[in-house]
């Protein structure tokens, strides 16, 4: 049974009669169709790379960055919708700053990963928001 375009893709908490959530499928397709992301851990630190897709000549150079520092010791890389990624980066920066203000210490990457997981989950569960179409790697 195909339900595309029949009202079942209007929200991320609407199930089609065959049990599909189209907004989540759309976000997954965005990640699948974007470039690959790779992170390597070595003795001196980490190396992170994101595949650069074919860029339009209409884009401003440097505007398509997918690797961002969010603190002095922590960074985030993403694949998927660039616009969604640009919304994820400030949220990650705010989490790092709040942690530093509250605890007075550097935030471990696994804590940021947990908090960003809650951020992504919130966009998936509330009806007024669209599912975030990115996959993020935190180093």
pLDDT of residue 81: 87
pLDDT of residue 127: 61
pLDDT attached to residue 108 = 95
| Model confidence, pTM | 0.81
Any domain includes 60: yes
- Predicted confidence at residue 21, as pLDDT, reads 82
Residue 28, domain member (yes or no) = yes
Low-confidence ranges of the chain (pLDDT < 70): 1-5, 54, 127-128
What's residue 2's pLDDT?
53
Q: Does residue 10 lie within any of the structural domains?
A: no
**Residue 112 resides in a domain:** yes
Query: Is residue 58 in some structural domain?
Result: yes
Is 7 inside any structural domain?
no
Count how many domains the chain has: 1
User: For position 52, what pLDDT does the model report?
Assistant: 80
List 69's β-bridge partners, or say none: 75
CATH number at residue 108: 3.60.20.10
Q: Which domain holds residue 51?
A: 22-138
């Amino acid at each position: 049974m195909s339900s595309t375009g029949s009202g079942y893709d209007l929200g991320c908490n609407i199930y089609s009669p065959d049990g599909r959530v189209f907004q989540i499928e759309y976000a997954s397709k965005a990640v699948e169709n974007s470039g690959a992301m790779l992170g390597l851990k070595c003795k001196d630190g980490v190396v992170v790379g994101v595949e650069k897709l074919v860029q339009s000549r209409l884009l401003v150079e440097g505007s398509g960055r997918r690797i961002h520092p969010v603190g002095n010791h922590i960074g985030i890389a993403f694949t998927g919708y660039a616009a969604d990624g640009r919304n994820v980066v400030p949220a990650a920066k705010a989490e790092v700053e709040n942690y530093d203000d509250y605890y007075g210490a550097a935030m471990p990457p696994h804590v940021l990963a947990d908090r960003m997981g809650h951020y992504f989950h919130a966009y998936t569960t509330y009806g007024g928001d669209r599912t975030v179409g990115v996959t993020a790697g935190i180093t």
